[in-house]
């Protein structure tokens, strides 16, 4: 289980992810919210200065493919988003010839402006992994999530605004990931944020992550207090009929 978000801002992209590594493959499906057996925490975003990729589902396979995408994309592939998309599809198809695993990727690519792609590899019939498989890879024009996409934290995306700078979107990405932990505490934990903009690709420091975690917890507590501890007196409709 995991929860990852990609937010498109004015001039760049924010990728946010939890850190919990699930070792029970039977509950990695998007519609699952049950507990997972987990052994460790680890980063799930691979990047260089042209590409940043969050990896979901089968993490070992997804990271292997992500590293291939980073290493094999050429400058010619990054002339525009169409060529970048085709190159990413080609690499995923080649990687899946000998090894087919469920995987999802949110991919921020500089081609030459920053664009976000969502790619997925999965069996057409989830009950038959030995059957036909489907690969999808699409250019995104709005926010995206990967992993536990049924998590109620997705509704925080209502606050997304693509006129904001990537840096301004960082608190929202962090709060979405932290809130996802609230709804699936045994499958989602931790936080990493990667920022892609004109200055390249940068991972937020541990000190900044700690500040964002405190901010998210304070915001959640403030909302809870405002909803549950107010003491206003309400007026009632005099025509109410009690039976």
Residue boundaries of the structural domains of the chain: 3-228
The model carries a pTM of 0.89
Q: How far apart are CA 118 and CA 107, in angstroms?
A: 6
> What are the φ/ψ torsions at residue 23 (nearest 5 degrees)?
-105, -5
> Band of the pLDDT at 31, cuts 50, 70, 90?
very low
Give per-residue pLDDT as tens, 98-130.
Answer: 898 999 999 999 999 999 999 999 998 877 777
Strands (E) across the chain are located at 3-9, 12-17, 20-22, 38-41, 45-47, 51-57, 103-110, 114-123, 133-140, 144-147, 192-197, 200-203
Helix 59-72 × helix 81-95 angle, to 10°: 130
175 sits in the region (left: phi over 0; alpha: psi -120 to 50; else beta) called alpha
Check: CB of residue 111 under 8 Å from CB of residue 69. no
Instruction: Tell me which residue of 69, 44, 40 sits closest to 54, measured CA to CA.
Output: 44
Q: How far apart are CA 144 and CA 117, in angstroms?
A: 9
Give per-residue pLDDT as tens, 146-197.
Answer: 999 999 999 999 999 989 999 999 999 999 999 999 999 888 999 999 999 9
Q: What CATH homologous superfamily does 3-228 map to?
A: Aminohydrolase, N-terminal nucleophile (Ntn) domain (3.60.20.10)
The structure tokens listed for 28 are 């990695």
Q: How far apart are CA 113 and CA 13, in angstroms?
A: 10
């Amino acid at each position: 289980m995991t929860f990852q978000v990609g937010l498109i801002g004015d001039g760049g992209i924010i990728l946010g992810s939890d850190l919990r590594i699930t070792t029970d493959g039977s509950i990695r499906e998007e519609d699952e919210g049950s507990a997972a057996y987990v052994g460790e925490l680890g980063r799930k975003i691979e990047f260089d200065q042209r590409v940043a990729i969050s990896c979901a589902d089968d993490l070992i396979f997804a990271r292997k493919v992500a590293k291939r995408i980073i290493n094999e994309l050429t400058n010619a592939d990054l002339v525009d988003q169409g060529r970048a998309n085709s190159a990413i599809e080609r690499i995923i198809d080649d990687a899946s010839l000998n090894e087919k695993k469920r995987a999802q990727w949110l991919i921020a690519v500089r081609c030459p402006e920053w664009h976000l792609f969502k790619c997925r590899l999965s069996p057409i019939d989830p009950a038959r992994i030995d059957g036909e498989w489907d690969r999808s890879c699409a250019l995104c024009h709005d926010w995206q999530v990967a992993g536990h996409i049924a998590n109620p934290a997705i509704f925080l995306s209502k606050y997304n605004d693509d006129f904001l700078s990537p840096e301004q979107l960082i608190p929202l990405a962090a709060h979405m990931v932290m809130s996802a932990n609230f709804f699936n505490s045994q499958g989602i934990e931790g936080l990493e944020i990667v920022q892609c903009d004109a200055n390249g690709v940068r991972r937020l420091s541990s000190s900044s992550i700690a500040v964002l975690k405190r901010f998210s917890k304070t915001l959640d507590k403030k909302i809870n207090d405002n909803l549950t501890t107010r003491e206003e007196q309400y007026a009632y409709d005099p025509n109410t009929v009690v039976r």
